[in-house]
C-alpha cells in the first residue's frame, strides 16, 4: 500500500518535472522572451506559416511526424494545392516532411545538424521560437556571419534576412569599465517587409510550428464548438420540456 503510494508520488513528481522542463529550457536562453501572441487555431495564419516554412526552412529542417496529406486535411487544402505550393522536395502526398539536407553534410557545413522541428512548438514553445527568429544580427566573428541574442553562438544563419533586413548589435560598456554587452538590436538595412509585416510573418511561422507539434489541437477546437452547440441545443430542449410539464401544474 505504502509502496504503491510512493510509486504514485514518484510518478506525479516525474510528470510535474517533465512538464516544467520546457519553461526551464526557455528561460535558459540568452535573453528575454517576447510574447508571440500566436493564434494556432487561426487557419489562415497557419496556412501562411506553412507557406513560409516550405519556402525558407524545409531546406534544412524536417518535420518527421507530419505528413503532407495531414497538412492538406487539417488546413483545408487540396492535394494539388499542397503538392504545388508546399512540396518542393519531391516527397509523395502520403510522406512525412523530409528535408533534402543530409544530416552529415549539414554537420560539416553548419557545425551542427539542423534539428527536426516536429515537436519544437511544444518543446521550446511559441514565445521562444518567435523571439529566436527575430533575434539574429550580423556578427563577422561567426563562421556564417550571423549570431543570435536569444541563442548565442547558434549555427543557423538568418534565413529570413531578406524579409527582415539586417540587424546589428548595439554594444554597451558598463560604467565601471566592465565587459562589453549587447544592449539591443538595431535595423541597419531594411528588408522587403516592414517591422509590423515581419512580426506577422514570424507569428504565422510560429503558429505553423505550434500546429505541427500538435495537429490534433485544430480538430479539438472544431470539436469543442460542436460540443458547446450540442449542449446548448439540449439545454433548450430541456427548457421546452419543462415548460410543457409545468403548463398543467400552474
The residues binding ligand HEC (CB under 6 A) are 56-57, 59-61, 110, 112, 114-115, 117, 120, 124, 129, 132-133, 154-157, 159-160, 205
Cα–Cα distances (Å) from 235 to 3, 221, 229, 242, in that order, read 46, 21, 10, 10
**For ligand HEC, the closer CB: 75 or 205:** 205
CB of 55: closest distance to ligand HEC in angstroms?
A: 8
User: Cα separation of 17 and 89, whole Å?
Assistant: 39
- Provide the 3-class DSSP secondary structure of residue 146: strand
Q: How far is the CB of 180 from ligand HEC (least distance, A)?
A: 23
C-alpha to C-alpha distances, 12 to 3, 95, 122, nearest whole angstrom: 14, 37, 20
- 94's CB contacts (< 8 A; 6+ apart) are 67, 68, 69
Determine the residue with CB nearest ligand HEC: 57
Q: Which is nearer to ligand HEC, 118 or 215 (CB)?
A: 118
Of the two residues 185 and 209, which places its CB atom closer to ligand HEC in the complex?
209
Smallest gap from Cβ 245 to ligand HEC, in A, equals 60
* Residue 183 three-state SS: strand
In the complex with ligand HEC, the residue whose CB is nearer, 67 or 142, is 142
Find the shortest distance in angstroms from Cβ 44 to ligand HEC. 19
Question: Rounded to whole angstroms, how far apart are CA atoms 45 and 126?
Answer: 14
163, burial (CB in 10 Å: exposed 0-12, middle 13-18, buried 19+): middle
Cell of 241: 420540456
- Taking the least distance from each CB to ligand HEC, the nearer of 28 and 140 is 28
CB of 106 to ligand HEC, least distance (A): 6
Which of 114, 215 has the CB closer to ligand HEC? Answer: 114
Q: Are 99 and 88 in contact (CB under 8 A)?
A: no
Least distance between ligand HEC and beta carbon 114 (Å): 4
Amino acid at each position: 500500500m505504502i509502496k504503491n503510494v510512493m510509486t504514485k508520488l514518484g510518478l506525479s513528481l516525474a510528470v510535474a518535472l517533465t512538464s516544467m522542463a520546457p519553461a526551464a529550457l526557455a528561460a535558459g536562453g540568452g535573453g528575454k522572451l517576447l510574447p508571440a501572441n500566436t493564434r494556432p487555431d487561426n487557419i489562415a495564419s497557419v496556412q501562411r506559416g506553412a507557406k513560409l516554412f516550405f519556402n525558407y526552412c524545409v531546406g534544412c529542417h524536417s518535420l518527421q511526424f507530419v505528413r503532407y496529406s495531414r497538412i492538406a486535411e487539417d488546413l483545408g487544402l487540396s492535394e494539388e494545392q499542397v503538392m504545388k505550393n508546399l512540396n518542393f522536395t519531391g516527397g509523395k502526398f502520403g510522406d512525412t516532411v523530409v528535408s533534402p539536407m543530409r544530416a552529415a553534410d549539414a554537420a560539416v557545413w553548419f557545425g551542427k545538424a539542423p534539428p527536426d522541428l516536429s515537436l519544437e512548438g511544444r518543446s521550446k514553445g511559441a514565445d521562444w521560437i518567435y523571439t529566436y527568429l527575430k533575434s539574429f544580427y550580423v556578427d563577422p566573428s561567426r563562421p556564417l556571419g550571423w549570431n543570435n541574442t536569444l541563442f548565442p553562438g547558434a549555427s543557423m544563419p538568418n534565413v529570413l534576412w531578406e524579409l527582415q533586413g539586417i540587424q546589428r548589435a548595439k554594444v554597451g560598456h558598463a560604467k565601471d569599465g566592465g565587459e562589453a554587452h549587447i544592449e539591443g538590436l538595431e535595423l541597419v538595412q531594411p528588408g522587403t517587409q516592414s517591422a509590423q509585416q515581419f512580426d506577422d510573418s514570424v507569428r504565422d511561422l510560429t503558429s505553423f510550428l505550434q500546429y505541427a507539434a500538435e495537429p490534433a489541437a485544430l480538430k479539438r477546437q472544431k470539436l469543442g464548438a460542436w460540443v458547446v452547440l450540442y449542449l446548448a441545443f439540449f439545454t433548450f430542449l430541456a427548457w421546452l420540456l419543462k415548460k410543457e410539464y409545468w403548463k398543467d401544474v400552474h
